[in-house]
Amino acid sequence: MEVIFLGTGTSQGIPIIGSKHPVCLSENPKDKRLRVSVLVKWEGNNILIDCGPDFRMQMLSNPIENLDAILYTHEHNDHTAGLDDIRPFFFRQGDIPVFAHKRVLDSLRKRFEYIFTSTNKYPGAPGVIEHEIVNKPFYFNDLKITPIDYKHNRLQVFGFRLKDFAYLTDLKSIEEEEVQKLDGVKVLVVTALRIEPHHSHLNLEEALEFIERVKPERAYLTHISHLLGFHDEVQEQLPENVFVAFDNLEITI
Ligand SMILES: [Zn+2]
């Protein structure tokens, strides 16, 4: 299984438009972050987790020819705004399967009514196949996908475990029984928004405590704001098996 970090930035991305913050002005490509998303490549399938506003650019900077499924963590705009841009995949492949909590599907149906409608559909609109998920493992082809249920402030979010890989973005609090589902995971990806505490995301210290609890072989930090600091400086302070993710990083699990 291979995973490409398509985007690793928080909701405004880095740089923030018009910002003079040193991290926003950094010329290091590792400090430029599109909105969060990963692509999981497994046996010829390309499975996308979240489809945010930068989806089109992410598909252009990585040579991705087919899109086989989209898993949604939650309905916030930085995770969903790119759905219209699945059109090139739809034209080649037909309807694209999407997996999400009922609440998230309801939100997508409202915001992308022209995609979900079955009557008088505009000929150029993309199509999807809806799969409602609950907090129980499900299968895509033969791949077992286990939702991990947690809170982003008060909003319910699903993270996902796919074999030895787990992706938990926009995490603030989680019950012990959900943490147990991560037992034996080799690679854990988790939110680390910034240094200071935040109401809906783990900060760096909390993310490191969480990694210590899960004990994966390797962990990667994502959903990063400019207030976390420069990639290279933060990386130097981290334990040996913890990495600051960056856009277009590709890992093998
Ligand atoms: Zn987010």
Distance 52 CA to ligand 1 centre (A): 9
pLDDT in tens, 113-140: 999 998 888 889 999 999 999 999 999 9
Could you tell me where the DSSP H helices lie in the chain? 22-25, 55-61, 77-80, 87-93, 102-111, 113-116, 176-180, 204-214, 231-236
Three-state secondary structure call for residue 157: strand
Give the model's confidence band at 250: pLDDT under 50 very low, under 70 low, under 90 confident, else very high: very high
pLDDT at res. 46: 98
Distance 132 CA to ligand 1 centre (A): 21
Could you tell me where the DSSP H helices lie in 64-188? 77-80, 87-93, 102-111, 113-116, 176-180
How far apart CA 127 and CA 115 sit, in angstroms, is 6
Q: Return the biggest CA–CA distance within the chain.
A: 56
- Give, in order, the Cα–Cα distances in Å from 55 to each of 39, 58, 218: 11, 5, 26
pLDDT at res. 99: 98
Distance 82 CA to ligand 1 centre (A): 13
Q: What is the mean pLDDT of the chain?
A: 97
| 185 close to 205: Cβ distance less than 8 angstroms | no
Distance 121 CA to ligand 1 centre (A): 30
pTM, entire model: 0.97
Distance 70 CA to ligand 1 centre (A): 16
Q: Which domains does the chain carry?
A: 2-252 (3.60.15.10)
pLDDT at res. 63: 86
Amino acid, res. 3: V
Three-state secondary structure call for residue 130: strand
| 24 close to 14: Cβ distance less than 8 angstroms | yes
pLDDT in tens, 46-77: 999 999 999 999 999 998 999 999 999 999 99
How far apart CA 29 and CA 177 sit, in angstroms, is 38
Distance 9 CA to ligand 1 centre (A): 9
Phi, psi of 43, deg, nearest 5: 45, 50
Phi, psi of 156, deg, nearest 5: -70, 140
Q: What is the dihedral of CA 166, 99, 83, 4, to 10 degrees?
A: 20
